[in-house]
Amino acid sequence: MLKINNLHVEVAGKEIIKGLSLEIKAGETHAIMGLNGAGKSTLANTIAGRDDYEVTAGSIEFEGKYLMELEPHERVAAGLFLGFQYPVEIPGVSNLNFMRTALNSVRKQHGEEDMSAAEFMKLIREKAKMLGMDPDMLKRFVNVGFSGGEKKRNEMVQMAVLNPKLAVLDETDSGLDIDALKTVADGINVQRRDDTAVLLITHYQRLLSYVQPDFVHVMIDGKIVKSGGKELALELEEKGYADVA
């Protein structure tokens, strides 16, 4: 599904991703772990198509397409979703309007009709309920005045509505209390199917006890230095990054 080959990425003239390769197949859940500054968010944002992140070498293939040839919104239509580490506040745009425009934009790119307002309301209410989001928050401006945890839940509602093939979730667990973490984990687990894949980015082991990954990768200084099964996460927790790598 996703094939990253020898990826190099520069941000503001500085190389952050320094030759990273990774393959994710349908039905798999992967976790990338690494300390702050390792380049995890840079990788996630590059996959999503942030235009100030420059790919200087290597490639990212997604479902047989070269991602670098697609604009961010086209990547979403192809089935990609990025859950942001720091979701953006958008004053003046309601959450409902945002999600409905997003869903209909993807449908349009697939040559489908807009979803009716009634059908959309039913869908969004159902997803908000599943992820424990207060329905009143749907009417509020996107992420404005949301707590850290509420923002992360909002990301998960967006993911559920868009139903992507590959979800890249950047530190979705940070800022969540234990109850919220369980709800969010349930939301992620619903998204794990034979025809989908999930890439979790985290620097804690915590989330991984609720969403058990098939593979764990350790990232240091822009590269994956070690890969293994889910036991690698526990080993990291015990011994620290320095020893494991």
Partner 1 sequence: MYDELTKSYQAQSDSLLGIVPGTDGIRTQALADFLSKGFPTKKTEDWRYSDLKALTASAFEMAGSDADPEVPAALSETAARFVFVNGRYRESLSDMGELWQAASVRPLVNHFTASEDRAGELVRGQDAIGLLNTALLRDGMVISVPTGVEIDDPVEIIHIMTGADAQAAHTRHLIELGEAAKLHIVERFIGDGSSYWTNSVLQARITEGGKLAHTRLQEEGANAVHTAKAHITVGAEGSYQACNLSLGGKIARFEAHVRLLSEECVAYVDGVALASTGQSHDTLTHVSHTQPHTNSDQIFRTVADARGKTSFQGKVTVDKDAQKVEADQSFKALVMDRTAEANAKPELEIFADDVKCSHGATVGELDAKAIFYLTSRGIDPVTARQMLVSAFTAEALERVENDSVRAEMTERVDAWMAKRADV
Q: Please, are residues 47 and 80 in contact by the beta-carbon 8 Å criterion?
A: yes
Is residue 101 within the footprint of partner 1 (CB under 8 A)?
yes
Q: Please, are residues 205 and 236 in contact by the beta-carbon 8 Å criterion?
A: yes
Is the CB of 162 or the CB of 208 nearer to partner 1? 162
Q: Which does 12 bind (CB under 5 to 8 A by kind): partner 1, ligand ADP, Mg ion, none?
A: ligand ADP
- Subset of 157-186 contacting partner 1 (CB under 8 A): 158, 162
Q: Which residue in the shown chain puts its C-beta closest to Mg ion?
A: 41
Q: Per-residue string for binding with partner 1, 114-153, x by CB under 8 A?
A: ----------------------------------------
Q: Which of 59, 60, 41 is nearest to 2 (CA)?
A: 60
Q: Which does 39 bind (CB under 5 to 8 A by kind): partner 1, Mg ion, ligand ADP, none?
A: ligand ADP
Q: Please, are residues 40 and 219 in contact by the beta-carbon 8 Å criterion?
A: yes
SS3 content of the chain, % helix, strand, coil (to 5): 40, 30, 30
List phi, psi (to 5°) of 198. -135, 135
Interacting stretch for Mg ion, rule CB under 5 A, among 49-57, 80-88, 115-123, 216-224? 80-88
Q: Which of 125, 119, 95, 94 is nearest to 107 (CA)?
A: 119
In the β-sheet with 53-62, what is the strand arrangement from edge to edge? Answer: 14-24, 2-11, 53-62, 65-66
Is the CB of 38 or the CB of 216 nearer to ligand ADP? 38
Q: What residues contact 76, with CB distance under 8 A and at least 6 apart?
A: 102, 105, 106, 162, 164
Q: Per-residue string for binding with ligand ADP, 27-66, x by CB under 6 A?
A: -------x-xxxxxxx------------------------
Q: Please, are residues 39 and 221 in contact by the beta-carbon 8 Å criterion?
A: yes
Interacting stretch for partner 1, rule CB under 8 A, among 29-37, 43-51, 169-177, 227-235? 43-51
Q: Which does 109 bind (CB under 5 to 8 A by kind): partner 1, Mg ion, ligand ADP, none?
A: partner 1
Is residue 85 within the footprint of Mg ion (CB under 5 A)?
yes
Is residue 93 within the footprint of partner 1 (CB under 8 A)?
yes
| Contacting residues toward Mg ion, per CB under 5 A | 40-41, 85
